[in-house]
Amino acid sequence: MQTDKVTPFQFLVLVIFFTVGSSILYIPSTLTIAVKQDAWIAALIGNLLGLVVIWFFTTISLWFPKLTYIEINEKIFGKFLGKSISILFVLMTLLYASALIAQSSIFLITQMYPETPITFINLLLVIIVVMAVRLGIQTIARSAEIFIFIFFFLFIVLAVSISPQIDVTNLEPFFQTKLSSILSSSFKLTAVSTVNSIALFMIFPAFVNEIKKCRKNFYLGSLIGGAVIVSITMLCIFVLGSNTTARQVYPSYTLAKVINVGDFITRIEALMATLWTLALFFKVTLYFYAGVFGLSKILNIKEYRVLTFPVAAIVLFLSIIIFPNILYQTIFDEKNAIVITTIVGLFCPLLATIVFLLRKKKFKKDPDYANSN
């Protein structure tokens, strides 16, 4: 049984990595396609919207501070319905883990390893993810704690070395798109970066120290991660212009490609790719951890580690076949994933809230109920 707990700082780092995730690669082009040079506004709104979502999530989870999301579901909905919703949740996290692995391998194949079979790239990533998850959340959190410094170091290097090429006027004219399309783009970002962080409720609040501080760090992490996304979107528009950004499949990689400091520091994009590899790895790991750990709770298996290999095999297989080409990925990200996220990440918790409020009296006597909140 898992007994390790995560410190507030480690939790903060995990939230940052989760928020940045794959968004750092795709969001600039996804947003600029929809709202052109106003993309950064959309990113900003999406980020702020995320705070509301986190407030909502943490409120639910703090009703039962000792339970994970799966157990809360069971408590509120009863055994059958609760388990059904939890299965939905687990399926979503595992599906997203596969999708993210597939995304990263499509990126690597397009930009670096054109002839390497997708199977091997995915296999390598899955092996590391399984290893991390088997070592437990403490190990994941501690490694994240180390990697966050590398992440921000590289991010600052990227921002500083691209700054000579910034053309501020590329942001003009402001507010050229309709507010409705800005908002709908914002929601997409919120869905990807924040609503999906429902996966983190397998860790929070049951496996963290100092719950109150962690809740604060949840907001903070989401803000910092959001700031990274907003600034990378701005940099893309500053340097590439909105039309070029929209046309790129991987705008932030293109951004790293045009770095040229005095004809001396050039062609450092491969180094910069470490940025999204790191963020992607932690997001996949957290999804996979949530999926496997959640499954063990549903099946009442004491030791979640026995599930890692069989589930990893399914995730690996799915990640290989999920996107035959990049268009599938785009459609999945733009449509399917948004629907799934909305159902599992917003609709189910909302339902839980309604049921909880109706049955509140009964829960007051429950030993797991938090009186302090």
Partner 1 sequence: MDRVIVRFIAIIFVSLLLAGCWDKRELNELAIATAISIDKKDDEYHVAAQVVIPTELSTKGGTGSSPVTLYEANGKSVNEAIRKLTLVAPRMIYLGHLRIVVISEELAKEGIDGTVDFLSRGWELRSDFYLIVSKETDAREILNIQTTLEKVPANDLFNILHTSEANYSSTIAVNFFEMKTNLEREGKQGVLTGVQILGDSSKGSSKQNVESIVPEAFIKFEELAVFKEDKLVGWLNDNESRGYNGITNQVKSTVGIVSCPEGGNGNVSIHIKKYKSEMKSKKTNSNNPEIDLKVNIVANLGEVSCDIDLTKQETVKMLEKEFEKAVKTDLQETIKVVQEKYHTDIFGFGATINKENPEKWKKIKGNWDEIFSEMPVNIDVDAQISHFGSVLNPVGRSTSE
Q: Does 113 bind partner 1 (CB under 8 A)?
A: yes
Coil/strand/helix, residue 140: helix
Asked if 54 and 218 count as a contact pair (C-beta separation under 8 A), the reply is yes
Query: According to CB under 8 A, which residues from 268 to 287 bind partner 1?
Result: none
The distance of closest approach from Cβ of residue 190 to partner 1 in the complex, given in angstroms and rounded to an integer, is 27
Q: Does 258 bind partner 1 (CB under 8 A)?
A: yes
Nearer to partner 1, 244 or 342 (CB): 244
Helix (H) or strand (E) holding 174: none
The distance of closest approach from Cβ of residue 355 to partner 1 in the complex, given in angstroms and rounded to an integer, is 48
Q: Does 134 bind partner 1 (CB under 8 A)?
A: no
Asked if 370 and 62 count as a contact pair (C-beta separation under 8 A), the reply is yes
Q: Does 164 bind partner 1 (CB under 8 A)?
A: no
The distance of closest approach from Cβ of residue 177 to partner 1 in the complex, given in angstroms and rounded to an integer, is 11
Q: Does 124 bind partner 1 (CB under 8 A)?
A: yes
Q: Does 310 bind partner 1 (CB under 8 A)?
A: no
CA distance 136 to 336: 31
Q: Alpha carbon 164 to chain centroid distance?
A: 31
Helix (H) or strand (E) holding 305: none
Q: Which of 47, 217, 254, 341: binder of partner 1 (CB under 8 A)? A: 254
CA distance 152 to 171: 25
Nearer to partner 1, 59 or 266 (CB): 266
Total of residues contacting partner 1 (CB under 8 A): 25
The distance of closest approach from Cβ of residue 68 to partner 1 in the complex, given in angstroms and rounded to an integer, is 32
Asked if 189 and 46 count as a contact pair (C-beta separation under 8 A), the reply is yes
Q: Does 247 bind partner 1 (CB under 8 A)?
A: yes
Q: Which of 82, 241, 291, 345: binder of partner 1 (CB under 8 A)? A: 241
Q: Which of 52, 55, 78, 117: binder of partner 1 (CB under 8 A)? A: 117
CA distance 296 to 336: 27
The distance of closest approach from Cβ of residue 245 to partner 1 in the complex, given in angstroms and rounded to an integer, is 10
CA angle (5, 22, 272) in 5-degree steps: 100
Q: Which of 110, 209, 336, 373: binder of partner 1 (CB under 8 A)? A: 110
Taking contact as CB under 8 A, which single stretch among the options 107-115, 299-307, 328-336, 352-360 is the one that binds partner 1?
107-115
Ramachandran angles phi, psi of 288, nearest 5°: -65, -40
CA nearest to 90, candidates 297, 284, 337 = 297
| Structural tokens at position 321 | 């076949």
Taking contact as CB under 8 A, which single stretch among the options 203-211, 239-247, 272-280, 282-290 is the one that binds partner 1?
239-247
Expressed in angstroms, the distance from the first to the final Cα of the chain is 27
The distance of closest approach from Cβ of residue 328 to partner 1 in the complex, given in angstroms and rounded to an integer, is 19
Q: Does 176 bind partner 1 (CB under 8 A)?
A: yes
Nearer to partner 1, 83 or 257 (CB): 257
The distance of closest approach from Cβ of residue 51 to partner 1 in the complex, given in angstroms and rounded to an integer, is 31
| Structural tokens at position 97 | 């883990």
CA distance 346 to 337: 13
CA distance 197 to 122: 23
CA angle (36, 39, 42) in 5-degree steps: 135
The distance of closest approach from Cβ of residue 124 to partner 1 in the complex, given in angstroms and rounded to an integer, is 7
Q: Does 212 bind partner 1 (CB under 8 A)?
A: no
Q: At what angle do helices 23-35 and 8-20 cross, to 10 degrees?
A: 50
Binding site for partner 1 (CB under 8 A): 110-117, 120, 124, 169, 172-173, 176, 240-241, 243-244, 247, 254, 257-258, 260, 266-267
